[in-house]
Chain A
C-alpha cells in the first residue's frame, strides 16, 4: 500500500470523508447578499444587503474559530463580497490568522492598486466570474457591462503580476460552445480556467430549464474536461459526468456537511452553497457554541454523515463514481434525493423529470430568502420585456383529466413561453 494519496484518494479515505471530518477542509462563506449585479442564475438570489449581516467583529470571531479548527481556507463569495466596506480588513485578518482566502468577484473593485496588493499576498487567491467568452453571451446572464468589468479586472491582475488567478465559468447551454475561447482568454492572462456546474439554486431555480446544458453538450463538456485534464479546475462539481466512463479528477463524492459547508451572510450554516433552504440549514454561528458546535453536533450534519439511502441508483453500473449526483440539483428540481440526478447522463434524470410532471415541477421546493433587487428580472436572451402569457384552466394542449384526479389543480397545465 501507499502512504500518501495523490492525486485521487483511495476508497478508505473517501469513507472517512463520507463519515465527516472534525472540521471542514474548506468552506464557502458568502459575506454579503449585496451585489452590483443581478445574474439570472445567482445561486444565493443576491442583490440587496441583509440588515442582519454579521458585523466585522462577529466575522472575526468566526475567523478565530476557523483558525482553531484548522480550516485551511475559505472560499469567500456573496453577493459581491468586495462591496462590504470591511472586506479587505477581513481578508487581512483571515490570512494573518492562518486561514487562507480565495474570493470570488465580478471584478468591480479590482483596480490597479487592489490588484497589486493581491499579487503581493501568498495566502490570497482570486476568482473572477465570467459566464461568456463574449460580451453577448456573458451579459445575457450577468447583465450589461459585466463582461467588460471582468476583462478589466483580469487585465489589472495580470499587469500586477498575479499569476494563476482563477477565471470561474458556470457552464450553460449558451457558453459550452465557447470552452476553447474561455481557455484562450485565461491563457492570455496567465490565469487558470475553472468550470463549474449550473445548479437550479437561488434564481437559478427559475432559469435552470432554459440554461442547463443539453444532453449532447454534457458529452461535449465531458470530452473537453477529459482532454484538458488537471489543467482545468472544476470545483469537483461534475462528478455526475463520470458516468460517461472516466472518473473526473478530484473527490468524486458529495462533500455537503461532511467536508464542506456554507456560512451565509447572516451566519446561517448550510450543508453546501447550492442548498440555501431550511431543509439544509444546520444552525447559526451566533448560536451557543458557535460554528464549531454547528459543524460537530447539528442533527442535519449527523444525518448527512450517516449511510445514505441511495435508492435505485445503486443498481446502476456508474454508481461507483457518480454516487447519485448532486443533492441540491435533485432537491430544487423536485426530484427525490434517493433517485437520479436531473442531469444523469444515463438519461434516468430526464425520465424522472418527465415522471415528476408539470405538477411535480410546480411543487419543487423554492430556495429560501430572495435578496434580489426589487426590479423585474431580465429574461434570458432578451433585453425587451415580453408579455407574460397567462392561462387559466384548460388550454388547447391540456391533457385529459382522469376521474380520480381530485386535486384543485387537476387539468391545469402551465404554458411556458
Chain B
C-alpha cells in the first residue's frame, strides 16, 4: 500500500508576509475553507495546505464579516467586539495575516494582493 497520513502538518507563520493594519480592509484568502466548530472554527488553506484554529466564536464572526467592511476596526464594531478586546483581536488577525489566511481586501496604495 501507499501509506496515507493521519493528521497532517499544522500551521507555521511565514516570514515576509503582509503585516496587519487594523485600519485597512482585509478579506479571507480565496483558497481558505472555514468550518465552524463549538470552540470556534477550523480553517484550512488549500494553497499552503495548512490547518489553523480560531478559538472563539466571536472571532469567527469577525472573520466572516471582514470582507464586507472597509477596515478590520469596522468589522470589530459590526460583530460587537468590546473595544477593550480590540488589542487581542489585533493580535489574532496579525497571526492570520502572517499565515496568509487573510489578505488585503483591495490593493490599497502600492500593495499587491495575490
A positions within 8 Å CB-CB of B: 1-10, 12-13, 16, 21-23, 25-26, 28-30, 35, 39, 42-46, 70, 72-73, 75-81, 98, 100, 102, 104-106, 122-123, 125, 127, 129, 168, 170, 194, 196, 202, 230, 233, 235-237, 249-251, 255-256, 259-260, 272-273
Contact = CB atoms under 8 A, between A and B. Distances in A.
Interface stretch (B15-23, B72-80, B86-94, B105-113): B86-94
Given A122-B46, A235-B7, A77 B2 contact: yes
Contacts of A29: 4
Contacts of B35: 23, 70, 72
A10 B6 contact: no
A16 to B, nearest CB: 5
Contacts, number: 162
A102 B52 CA distance: 18
Given A6-B95, A13-B39, A255-B6, 19 more contacts: A2-B91, A3-B40, A4-B95, A7-B13, A9-B53, A16-B39, A23-B35, A43-B1, A45-B1, A72-B35, A102-B8, A104-B4, A168-B3, A168-B5, A202-B1, A235-B8, A236-B5, A236-B6, A259-B7
B10 interface: yes
A273 B92 CA distance: 35
7 smallest beta-carbon distances between A and B, as pairs: A235-B5, A104-B2, A3-B92, A77-B4, A75-B4, A72-B44, A28-B4
Given A4-B53, A13-B55, A104 B3 contact: yes
A5 B5 contact: no
Contacts of A10: 55
A385 to B, nearest CB: 23
B95 to A, nearest CB: 5
Interface residues on B, range: 35 or more
A2 B55 contact: yes
A123 B13 contact: no
Contacts of B44: 25, 72-73, 100
B33 A6 contact: no
B59 interface: yes
B interface SS class:
loop
Contacts of A170: 3
Interface of A is mostly: loop
A3 B91 contact: yes
